[in-house]
Amino acid sequence: MLKGYIMKEIRVQDAVGHALVHDIVRIVIGEVKDTPFRRGHVITEQDIPKLLDLGKEHIYVMEPEDEGFLHEEDVARALYAIAKGNYMHDGPMAQGKIEVIADVDGLLKVDVDKLYAINSIGELTIVTKLNNTPVKAGDKISGMRCIPLLLEEQQVVDAQKIGGPILNIKPFVRKTMGIVTTGSEVFEGRIKDAFTPIIEERCAEFGVKKIAHEIVTDNTDDIVAAIDKVKAAGADIIFCTGGMSIDPDDLTPGAIKRYADHVVTYGLPVLPGSMVCIAYCADGTPILGVPGGVLFSKPTAFDEIVPRLIADDEITKEDCIALGHGGFLG
């Protein structure tokens, strides 16, 4: 059980020998923001004019009490213990708050329901990046603190009952891709394949490399055979480009449906790039039908979906529906 405290206000001139109970920040606009006095610093005679220069005529000192209240730093540590999940660590305590830092490149997963529940308790505060945000090792992904300097211990107890974790990181584990380029005009060399360089560029930031590439005509049997060929080559993700609209000559969605074990969706409530097909093979290998919007815009639905596929974060129909909120990407 964490120890409780009571807090007392005293004049700075009477504070010699007392320890500060919180950091004191100095802000000079356009010049400096630092922390000249840290929690635990024992005040000396020489500190008094410096504190007065900072506008501190009174300070708080803290005395132990059997039960009741927790210091803000103890609260922040308790919130971190609740929130933390895999592949992350806490940064140094500063001004009563803790920030959480990613250990690996991956996809941040946030239990939004638990986050809302804990933030609904009194003055507890946990803030995060958005759910499903790609992060890199070293990125700050979350922070936590309480609003007052001292907080009723019961609020922390209530948060512990909700439990965690709130945060998890799924590492980017899929490292190879195969591309199936469809279109007789590309197969016959009348136009250049514009999709493949873009897909390679956007996947490179996640460490994914192309290991197989097939170019086929607008023929369902040929498309299905090409998908099978790049999968047999060991591709962790399969991208199919071209023929993704509703025109009668656009056969790619039908070919994906024929090959895949499960089609999650054809079409997403995301603009630009709504003509996406998401499917999975029986062994879990994802197939993504890439919309033409990828050629002209960034971000698109492609950029919303691909990090999740690379992190092996299964996408459901409900996930797709939820993308409509915030899915207008401009």
Sign of CA dihedral 248, 249, 253, 258: positive
Confidence of residue 1 (pLDDT cuts 50, 70, 90): very low
Residue 33 has a pLDDT of 83
Identify the CATH number of the domain in which residue 123 sits: 3.90.1170.30
For residue 87 the two structure tokens come to 């592949």
On whether both 33 and 90 belong to a single domain, the answer is no
At residue 198, does pLDDT exceed 90?
yes
On whether both 104 and 207 belong to a single domain, the answer is no
Question: pLDDT tens digit string along 86-112?
Answer: 999 999 998 889 999 999 999 999 999
CB burial readout 88-100, b (16+ within 10 A) else e = bebeebbebbbbb
> What domain range includes position 191?
176-322
Confidence of residue 65 (pLDDT cuts 50, 70, 90): low
Cα–Cα distance, 17 to 24 (Å, whole number): 17
Confidence of residue 22 (pLDDT cuts 50, 70, 90): confident
On whether both 52 and 86 belong to a single domain, the answer is no
Domain count, the chain: 3
On whether both 100 and 123 belong to a single domain, the answer is yes
pTM here is 0.83
At residue 252, does pLDDT exceed 60?
yes
E strands in the chain? 4-11, 24-28, 32-37, 58-65, 69-71, 88-90, 98-102, 106-110, 124-128, 133-135, 140-146, 150-152, 167-171, 176-182, 209-216, 237-241, 262-266, 277-280, 286-290
Residue 2 has a pLDDT of 43
Question: pLDDT tens digit string along 67-80?
Answer: 678 888 899 999 99
On whether both 39 and 166 belong to a single domain, the answer is no
On whether both 107 and 192 belong to a single domain, the answer is no
Residue 102 belongs to some domain of the structure:
yes
Sign of CA dihedral 206, 211, 216, 219: negative
Question: pLDDT tens digit string along 123-155?
Answer: 999 999 999 999 999 999 999 999 877 788 999
On whether both 167 and 248 belong to a single domain, the answer is no
On whether both 212 and 318 belong to a single domain, the answer is yes
Mean pLDDT, to the nearest integer, of 48-67?
A: 77
On whether both 189 and 167 belong to a single domain, the answer is no
Identify the CATH number of the domain in which residue 8 sits: 3.90.105.10
Residue 150 belongs to some domain of the structure:
yes
The pLDDT mean for the chain works out to: 91
On whether both 217 and 144 belong to a single domain, the answer is no
